[in-house]
Amino acid sequence: MIPRSALVVVIISVLTLTVAAQTPTTTFTTITDFGEGDGQYPSPLAQGLDGNFYGAAYYGPRTTTGNNGFGFYLTSSGAWTLLDYLCDESCVQGSKASAGMTLAGDGNFYGTTAYGGNGKYRNLNQAGTIYRANAATGLTTLYSFCAKLGCQDGDDPYEPVILGSDGNLYGTTVVGGLHKGGTAYVITLAGKFNTLHQFCAQTNCADGGNPTTLIQATDGNFYGVAAGGTGEYCFGAGDCGMIFKMTPKGVTTALYNFCSLANCADGLEPRALMQGADGNLYGSTDRGGIYSTGSENEGSGTIFKLSLQGQLTTLYNFCSVYSCSDGGVITPSLLQANDGNIYGTVDEGEGSKCYFAYGCGTIFELTSAGVYSTLYTFCEQLGEYCLDGSLPEGLIQATDGNFYGVTGRGGPSGYGTAFQLSTGLAPFIQSVTSSGAAGSSVIILGNNLTGTTSVTFNGTAAAFTVVSSTEITATIPKGATTGVIEVITPTATLTSNKTFTVTN
């Protein structure tokens, strides 16, 4: 068992919430159907410099070299383009990508594959890769896992990489490592790799094991989700999960252990994690909550807030409404939109028209006041496989203000869809990197940027170049301070969706 986190204050806020009816202004559009010709089971999408959306498919069109997936990009209207195949004859480039891509400061995308690669000590299915993706040059393998004896560098990088404040990429592997409990790593854009932490390094895996979601917070530290945990009321050793904290040098400690309350009222099996504008962490659990009795088969999950000091507040308990139509089993796509509210997807819920008894999934909104609304219910468009898709697996907010995502099943072919959800939120701009020093260059994404007359960093004017209608490069001005970036175009004043940190 993992030792309990010390001096953790736990607060459970049991809210009496109602699920609002579907928002009248919500417009849902299926923009692409995946199938034999354009891939199967797509990964979450990411917005590129050109305004298109990039992703990978777990399986790809059947070719003479197999059916092991590829990269692609979509326009906002759904026009689909093949980027490159993930797998050649030997799958050295990697195969079967399930994680989304991450845009880095050099303008390229980076992603992971769960299998393939040419690590010297790879296992039977090969251990996975990190790759670079570019619309002009296709896919290039940056690193193959199991390059070290015993796969000490990790095996199965199931989750996407994230962009650190230093411009490097960070990520986790689910298994492998010295203790077989997974690893955390850093890799430069040039491919220099270093293992930061070997999970299960502490007695009884006090530092967690089998890590998944990883983020970097504004304090410079990394926070993530792992199995393990020593919640006093956990019904199975290592089964209930934890949130860990990791310094940039890899020193890892438990921030919160789930099932620390009777009947796992604080949730168990955490999935999603993000940092809100208020500095707190927000996340979800697959199971547990106030409707759990402690049985491993009960509890529909929670949405929680967690301070960087380890104080947890439950914001919402799933199954709060009749027949559990609000769903459960959240996919790791929780986000805070530019209206300050939390949005996400669940795999279950609203099953009346769905061929799965437990439901085909929903998109939800949770306001800062704790009001939960179901924005869209999948399988509203009946067909052999649910024409609008089912089992949503990713959600992002693009700079046009709309939400975009994918489903793992459904669509005319049954292999997933890509969709747009419009709720009337305003367009905004987004910097690729979240911080930088005066004199350094920053890429800014947006829409309709042609003719921009001003770019400011927290009110200080910056030199800039309009590269295209969707991209601006700007130089952080001397004297700039931490705050929002503002862009003035001929038709609008656009503000960044997140605070930009100016470093020394």
- Residue-wise pLDDT for 307-330, tens only, equals 999 999 999 998 777 666 676 666
Find the helix or strand (DSSP H, E) in which 407 lies. strand 403-409
Whether the per-residue pLDDT at 14 is higher than 50: the answer is no
CB 364 within 8 A of CB 376: no
pLDDT-derived band at 363, boundaries 50, 70, 90:
very high
Query: What's the pLDDT score for residue 357?
Result: 60
**CA-closest candidate to residue 398, choices 344, 343, 332, 445:** 445
Mean pLDDT, rounded, for 74-94: 76
Query: What's the pLDDT score for residue 280?
Result: 97
Mean pLDDT, rounded, for 229-255: 87
Helix (H, G, I), strand (E, B) or coil at 281: strand
Q: How far is CA 161 from the centre of its chain?
A: 10
Answer left, alpha or beta for residue 102, where phi above 0 means left and psi between -120 and 50 means alpha: beta
Query: What's the pLDDT score for residue 38?
Result: 63
Kindly state the percentage of the chain with pLDDT values over 70.
Answer: 83
Query: What's the pLDDT score for residue 332?
Result: 66
Is 341 or 90 the better-scoring residue by pLDDT? 341
Q: Could you say which DSSP state residue 150 is in?
A: G
| 51 Cβ contact partners less than 8 Å away, ≥ 6 residues apart | 75, 76, 399, 445, 447, 469, 470
pLDDT-derived band at 196, boundaries 50, 70, 90:
very high
Neighbours of 492 (CB within 10 A): 15
Domain ranges (residues) in the chain: 10-422, 430-503
pLDDT-derived band at 408, boundaries 50, 70, 90:
confident
Query: What's the pLDDT score for residue 307?
Result: 98
Task: Name the phi and psi angles at 437, rounded to 5.
Answer: -95, 155
Helix (H, G, I), strand (E, B) or coil at 20: strand
pLDDT-derived band at 9, boundaries 50, 70, 90:
very low
- What the block records as the tokens of 262 is 């009777």
Q: What is the pLDDT of residues 110-129, one digit of tens each?
A: 999 888 788 777 665 678 89
Kindly state the percentage of the chain with pLDDT values over 90.
Answer: 55
Q: What is the pLDDT of residues 125-179, one digit of tens each?
A: 678 899 999 988 888 899 999 999 889 999 989 899 999 999 999 999 999 999 9
Task: Name the phi and psi angles at 332, rounded to 5.
Answer: -75, 65
Q: What is the pLDDT of residues 26-73, one digit of tens each?
A: 999 999 888 766 667 788 999 999 999 999 887 766 444 556 677 888
Query: What's the pLDDT score for residue 7?
Result: 33
Whether the per-residue pLDDT at 247 is higher than 60: the answer is yes
User: With b meaning 16 or more CB within 10 Å and e meaning fewer, what string describes 55-74?
Assistant: bbbbbbbeeeebbbbbbbbb
Mean pLDDT, rounded, for 190-197: 97
CATH number of 430-503: 2.60.40.10
Query: What's the pLDDT score for residue 4?
Result: 31
**What are 404's strand-pairing partners?**
396, 420
**What are 113's strand-pairing partners?**
129
In angstroms, the CA 247 to CA 430 distance is 26
| 38 Cβ contact partners less than 8 Å away, ≥ 6 residues apart | 32, 57, 61, 72, 80, 82
Mean pLDDT, rounded, for 426-453: 97
Query: What's the pLDDT score for residue 64?
Result: 45
Is 321 or 250 the better-scoring residue by pLDDT? 250
pLDDT-derived band at 203, boundaries 50, 70, 90:
confident
Whether the per-residue pLDDT at 402 is higher than 80: the answer is yes
- What the block records as the tokens of 362 is 């929903």
Distances from the Cα of 269 to the Cα of 231, 234, 258, 272, 285, angstroms: 11, 11, 8, 10, 5
Neighbours of 113 (CB within 10 A): 33
- What does 153-222 look like in DSSP terms, one character per residue? T-B---SPPEE-TTS-EEEEESB-STTSS-EEEEE-TT--EEEEEETT-SGGGTT-BS---EEE-TTS-E
Query: What's the pLDDT score for residue 137?
Result: 85
Domains 10-422 and 430-503 share a fold: no
- Position 172: which residue type? T
Whether the per-residue pLDDT at 8 is higher than 50: the answer is no
CATH number of 10-422: 2.120.10.30
CB 53 within 8 A of CB 47: yes
Query: What's the pLDDT score for residue 83?
Result: 80
Highest mean pLDDT among 7-21, 189-203, 464-478: 464-478
Query: What's the pLDDT score for residue 57?
Result: 82
Whether the per-residue pLDDT at 94 is higher than 90: the answer is no
Q: What is the pLDDT of residues 441-493, one digit of tens each?
A: 999 999 999 999 999 999 999 999 999 999 999 999 999 999 999 999 999 99
Whether the per-residue pLDDT at 380 is higher than 50: the answer is yes
